[in-house]
Structure 1
């Protein structure tokens, strides 16, 4: 099993950050490699969603059940996808009224050896691109 964790601080209120990250429907508008999303179901604070990616002409689809605790966390559990195991968590901590610490962690095991190699070699690049895309989107929501 592989594990990845990243913590960053963004000079934005937690409400702004949470609303962008929790809004899965808008991911194709700004998130690298994301080509489409589908909300399968919403039951109070539980959202089941599918996100489709195109990583260098390799189509990858992942479906997760997400438990959203408004302005605090998003916990993701695998339903199906290229993983035999996948759990991820976004944690949001307000440091001041206009600054937020975000911690993203995930643990995963990939079924396909080719996808496993692609992810392992590029995980830092992927996450940095995702974080930068989220930062830009959060900033654009302010303007």
Structure 2
């Protein structure tokens, strides 16, 4: 499996970041490669959603079950699509009432070994672009702060 993990300190509350990540229905507004989303079911603790991603003429649909533990964690489990597996977890830890540390990890595996090898070459760059898109969305929704995002080693 290919995997990556990143931890960042952000000038937004854990609740704000949780709400932003949990708002799957709006991903197409700010996430690169997301063409459409459809939330099939949604409650305070669980969601089932489809996401259509694409690049040029390639399009794929993924279905995921999302477990929500507000404001601490969002865990996404792969249900159906072109992969053999996909899991990602967002963890939100408050630093104070106006900032938090987020930890995001994702692991995936393609059914096709050629795609798996290609994805490994480009995944890091795509992952960073997605994380930046979430940060930009937080800035657009919640405004600027005196502190900036920091990558935590």
Is TM (by shorter chain) over 0.5? yes
Matched, 1:51 2:71: no
- Give the C-alpha shift of residue 51 in structure 1: 0.8
Residues 116 and 3 of structure 1: CA distance in aligned 2, closer, same or farther (over 3 Å): same
Matched, 1:12 2:12: yes
2:111 matched residue in structure 1 = 111
Deviations 1:30-89 (A, max 9, x none): 100100000111244110001111134321221110001111101111110121122211
Unmatched runs of 5 consecutive residues or more in structure 1: none
- Across the aligned residues of Structure 1 and Structure 2, the Cα RMSD in angstroms comes to 1.5
- Give the C-alpha shift of residue 114 in structure 1: 4.3
Alpha-carbon distance in structure 2 between the residues aligned to 1:2 and 1:112: 13
1:92 matched residue in structure 2 = 92
Alpha-carbon distance in structure 2 between the residues aligned to 1:29 and 1:99: 24
3-state SS in 2 of match to 1:32: coil
Unmatched runs of 5 consecutive residues or more in structure 2: 144-153
Deviations 1:123-142 (A, max 9, x none): 11111111111111111112
Q: Scaled by the length of structure 1, what TM-score is found?
A: 0.92
| Aligned 1:12-91 pairs, distance under 5 A | 12-91=12-91
Alpha-carbon distance in structure 2 between the residues aligned to 1:9 and 1:39: 29
Alpha-carbon distance in structure 2 between the residues aligned to 1:8 and 1:118: 27
Alpha-carbon distance in structure 2 between the residues aligned to 1:9 and 1:57: 36
Q: How many residues align?
A: 143
